[in-house]
Amino acid sequence: MRKKVIAGNWKMNMLPNEAIAFIEEFSQMVKDAKCEVILCVPYTDLFYSLLTAQNTNIKIGAQNMHWEEKGAYTGEVSAKMLKSIGVEYVIIGHSERRQYFAETDETVNKKVKAALANELKPIICVGETLEQREAGKAVELVTKQTRLALEGLTKGELSSIIIAYEPIWAIGTGKTATSEDANQMIKQIRNEVANIYGNEAAENIIIQYGGSVKSENAKELFTTSDIDGGLVGGASLKPEEFAKICLSV
């Protein structure tokens, strides 16, 4: 039985004092949550968040990293740096990074490998645009993104990764994929993992849904056969709302 994992992606929001206040309040609300609870915060909040989340069941993640360990890459942060302060998770290949910062399937794969080499758990994002969906290309594209992100990984490494299916048309738009559609695509992703790594690995891998998840739709999405939790943007910025989502499973 796979554990549900619910991660908040704060994106470029929250100052350190806001992060601390959020975690102090939120940690009380989710202390009995049955799912794994993760907050992926901006770099400037990481250290404060890690300190505030000590002795709680909240795990802290970053939202990006570079694949090189160190060197002349002005403005970048490496997996080793994240690991050194106690970060456990890192989002890789979010559609906003693919769209605005020219990330590709190739850089996503390099980052995934670097994260794993430093014992960080990557949350790998895949998902299609509305255009691609309407052209009937969504499954092909998403399974290809999945295959390329995982290229060169061992079966053993799969237990340290999470895949997040985030249809781009559902992000921040208020349009959620129906639970049937999201579940169906996640089955296809699982199928692709089975093709490469076999059924057991596919049965065990955690695959989340992301895109306008709210407390009103969380339960319906997360009680389907294949959706193992969510990656939540806007609704993770309010402690009560995000706690409701975490407590819905």
The amino acid at 15 = L
Long-range contacts (CB closer than 8 Å, 24 or more residues apart) made by 42-48? 42/10, 42/11, 42/12, 42/13, 42/14, 43/77, 44/15, 44/16, 45/10, 45/14, 45/15, 45/16, 45/19, 46/82, 46/85, 46/87, 47/85, 48/16, 48/19, 48/20
CB of 149 to ligand 13P, least distance (A): 15
**Nearest residue to the partner ligand 13P, using Cβ:** 233
Task: Give yes or no: 241 in active site.
Answer: no
- Of the pair 10, 67, the CB lying nearest ligand 13P is at 10
Q: Let me know: does 33 contact 247? Beta carbons within 8 Å.
A: yes
Task: Give yes or no: 166 in active site.
Answer: yes
CB of 210 to ligand 13P, least distance (A): 4
Neighbours of 195 (CB within 10 A): 12
- Of the pair 35, 201, the CB lying nearest ligand 13P is at 35
CB of 237 to ligand 13P, least distance (A): 9
Which spans of this chain sit near ligand 13P (rule: CB under 6 A)?
9, 94, 166, 171-172, 210-213, 231-235
CB of 63 to ligand 13P, least distance (A): 9
What is the sign, positive or negative, of the torsion defined by CA atoms of 39, 91, 95, 42?
positive
Of the listed 36, 128, 166, 192, which one is catalytic?
166
- Of the pair 36, 166, the CB lying nearest ligand 13P is at 166
- Of the pair 206, 232, the CB lying nearest ligand 13P is at 232
SS3 72: coil
Of the listed 36, 66, 94, 128, which one is catalytic?
94
Active site residues: 94, 166
